[in-house]
Amino acid sequence: MFKRHPILRYVLTRIFNYIFTIWGSFTVAFFLFRLVPTNPVEAWVNQLQRQYSVTVPKGDEMVAYYKEMFGLNGTLWDQYTHYVNMMLHGSLGPSFINFPTPVEELLLRRIPWTVGLLSVSIILAWVLGLLMGTMAGWFRDSTASDWLTNISIALSQIPPYLIAIVLVLVIGYQLKLLPTRGAWDAQYPIGFTWDFIKSVVSHSILPASAIVISSLAGWILSTRSLIVNILGEDYLMYAEAKGLKPWQIMTRYALRNAMLPQAMGLALTMGFMMSGQLLIEILFVYPGIGELMSRAIAVYDFNSLYGIILLSIFSVMTASLIVELALPLIDPRIRREIIA
């Protein structure tokens, strides 16, 4: 049956790999975290004992109760099956850092901030990188192209958090032009009001700029490389022979051919968005997924960590699946390989 329907075989194979990879990746992450020789409940009780220098009354009973609530009882296999059963019923368990708030509710509060910050930053960097990389590749022998390429190479070696620190020190503290902490001014209630929206935008400029600057260099270099490899192709020479202007050849032919792999790269990059920008969100105290992950790691909040990891795996694998399913529709060469 599958031999007569190669497209169906391709789709089902990709879907099976998608489901298996999500399950396998989460299973590995689950057991790795569970092998840590501590749990959040006992760590919390020990902290109380150190802080107040007294034994917590009925501490053993309290630990047993909360271990049961957080699924920390039994063998590793018992804990794994318990958590998987909770997930299948639509629950990720209570969060320890925001007890008793369910993890899924906590994630729903954080996702808009991460998606809002990273989606705008990633798309802006992609568009600018595509345009600037095309110009750098098309005019590769010019001085401006050499400068742009060298600056991009230098920026690509600088970590995003270091760029963020420079922006904070210069723009935030020296020039005092933009806020450096949080996502909005606490004096404004959350809502679709002009004051709140303006506050959100002003607070997001610095972290967004750090992300754009750090990722822009990679898009410029990769686009330039694609354009340089395209130059000299027969279809460009044919377009030139037809009398098309250089800017028309660059935009209609060179840029369009470079956009396919770059669009696929953008889709995969958007998939990694749910993992957040950990260090940047911590530095700017931005209430996103990355900042939540840092707090969860600090107190061994397994449920929150599992929720974040599962969300990250799901988003990355879903983006990868969409790309793999879209490639045969976009690229006829891949479609011919599947059918052959």
At 327, the pLDDT band (50, 70, 90 cuts) reads: confident
Convert the pLDDT of each residue in 231-272 to its tens digit: 766 766 766 677 777 777 777 767 777 777 777 788 777 766
- The owner of tokens 């569970």 is 34
Convert the pLDDT of each residue in 181-202 to its tens digit: 877 787 777 777 888 888 888 8
201: domain range? 112-297
Residue 300: pLDDT over 60: yes
Convert the pLDDT of each residue in 1-32 to its tens digit: 556 667 777 788 888 888 998 888 888 888 88
Q: How many domains does the chain have?
A: 1
Residue 29: inside a domain = no
The residues pairing with 94 across neighbouring beta strands, listed in sequence order, are 102
Residue 231: inside a domain = yes
Residue 272: inside a domain = yes
What is the token pair recorded at 16?
């099976």
Residue 168: inside a domain = yes
Residue 213: inside a domain = yes
CA–CA gap between residue 57 and residue 48 (Å, rounded): 11
Residue 190: inside a domain = yes
Residue 15 phi/psi, 5-degree rounding, is -65, -40
Residue 182: inside a domain = yes
Of the candidates 231, 185, 183, the residue with the CA atom closest to the CA atom of residue 207: 183
Cβ neighbourhood burial of 208 (10 Å; 0-12, 13-18, 19+): buried
- 174: domain CATH number is 1.10.3720.10
Of the candidates 260, 252, 223, 225, the residue with the CA atom closest to the CA atom of residue 236: 252
Residue 308: inside a domain = no
The conformation of residue 275, written as its DSSP 8-state character, comes to G
At 320, the pLDDT band (50, 70, 90 cuts) reads: confident
